[in-house]
Structure 1
Amino acid sequence: MRRNWAARLRHVTIDGLRAVVLENERLRVTVVPGKGGDVVEFLYKPMDMDFVWLSPQGLRDPREHLQGASDDVAQFIDHYEGGWQEIFPSGGAPSEYRGARLAQHGEVAGLPWECDVVADTPDEVAVRLSVRTRRLPYRLEKVFRLRSGTAALEIEGRATNESGLPLHAMWGQHIVYGLPFLRPGARIRLPEGVRVIPHESAINPPRRRVEAGGPWEWPIVPADGGGETDLSVVPAPGSPSDIVYLTGFTEGWYEISGDIGMRVEWDATLLPYLWMWQELGASTGYPWWGRAYTVGLEPFSSMPTDGLAAAVANGTALILDPHETKILKVRAEVMA
Structure 2
Amino acid sequence: MDAVTLENELLRVTVLPGKGGDVVEFLHRPTDTDFVWLSPQGLRAPAGHLHGAADDVAQFIDHYEGGWQEIFPSGGAPSLYRGARLAQHGEVSGLPWECAVVADTPELVSVRLSVRTRRLPYRLERTLTLAAGSPALEVEGRAANDSGLPLHAMWGQHIVYGAPFLKPGHRIRLPGGVKVVPHETAINPAGRRVAPGGPWDWPLVPADGGGTTDLGVVQAPGSPSDMVYLTGFSEGWYEISGEIGMRVEWDAEMLPYLWMWQEFGASVDYPWWGRAYVLGLEPFAGMPTDGLAAAVGNGTAMALGPYESKVLRWRAEVLA
Same fold (TM over 0.5): yes
* Matched position secondary structure for 1:285: coil
Match of residue 104, structure 1, among 88, 95, 100: 88
1:4 is matched with none
1:179 to 133, 151, 163: 163
Which residue of the partner structure matches residue 9 of structure 1? none
Among 273, 286, 290, the alignment partner of 1:306 is: 290
Q: How does 1:109-124 map to 2 (within 5 A)?
A: 109-124=93-108
Alignment of 1:1-336 (within 5 A): 17-64=1-48, 70-204=54-188, 208=189, 210=190, 212-214=191-193, 221-223=196-198, 232-336=216-320
CA apart distance, 1:253:
0.3
Q: Matched residues in 2 for 1:79 and 1:152: separation?
A: 28
Secondary structure (helix, strand or coil) at the match of 2:140 reads: strand
Instruction: Give the aligned partner of residue 12 of structure 1.
Output: none
Number of corresponding residues: 309
Runs (4+) off by over 4 Å: 226-231
Q: Distance in 2 between matches of 1:227 and 1:61?
A: 39
Aligned with 1:86: secondary structure? strand
SS in structure 1 of the partner of residue 59 of structure 2: helix
* Unaligned 5+ runs, structure 2: 205-214
State the Cα deviation string for residues 22-64 of structure 1 (Å, max 9, x = none).
Answer: 0000100001101000000000000100001000111112235
Task: Return the alpha-carbon distance in structure 2 between the equivalents of residues 267 and 215 of structure 1.
Answer: 28
Give how far 1:151 is off: 0.7
TM-score norm. by structure 2 comes to: 0.93
8 Å contact kept, 1:86–1:172: yes
Shift of 1:222: 2.1
SS in 2 for 1:40: strand
Supply the RMSD in Å over aligned alpha carbons.
1.8
- Equivalent pair of 1:239/1:282 in contact (CA under 8 Å): yes
Amino acid paired to 1:161: N
8 Å contact 2:224–2:264 — kept in the other structure? yes
Amino acid at match of 1:178: G
Offset of residue 18 of structure 1: 1.5
SS class of match (1:238): coil
How far the C-alpha of 1:152 sits from its partner, in A, is 0.3
Distance change in 2, residues 1:228/1:101 (3 Å) = closer
- Does the C-alpha gap of structure 1 residues 252 and 287 become closer, same or farther in structure 2, counting only changes over 3 Å? same
SS at match of 2:293: helix
Q: Which residue of 2 aligns with 1:10?
A: none
Secondary structure class of the residue paired with 2:217:
coil
8 Å contact kept, 1:197–1:213: no
Instruction: Report the Cα distance in structure 2 between the residues aligned to 1:229 and 1:250, rounded to whole angstroms.
Output: 18
Shift of 1:232: 2.2
Alpha-carbon distance between aligned partners in 2 of 1:302 and 1:229, rounded to the nearest angstrom:
20
Give the drift of 1:75. Answer: 1.4
Contact preservation (8 Å) 1:69, 1:78: no
Cα distance in structure 2, aligned partners of 1:82 and 1:158? 24
Aligned equivalents of 1:191, 1:228: Cα separation in 2: 17
Whole-Å Cα distance in 2 between the matches of residues 117 and 316 of structure 1? 35
| 2: CA distance, partners of 1:330 / 1:135 | 26
Supply the AA of the counterpart residue of 2:300: T
Distance in 1 (alpha carbons) for counterparts of 2:247 and 2:46? 30
Contact kept? 1:241, 1:283, Cα under 8 Å? yes
Unmatched runs of 5 consecutive residues or more in structure 1: 1-16
- Measured after TM superposition, the shift of residue 19 of structure 1 is 1.1
Q: Conserved in 1, the CA contact under 8 Å of 2:180 and 2:202? A: no
Q: What's the offset of the Cα at 1:69?
A: 5.3
Contact 1:196 1:215 survives alignment (8 Å): no
Summarize the Cα distance change of 1:215–1:188 in structure 2 as closer, same or farther, 3 Å threshold: farther
Identity %: 75
Q: Distance in 2 between matches of 1:104 and 1:150?
A: 35
Alignment TM-score, normalising by the size of structure 1: 0.89
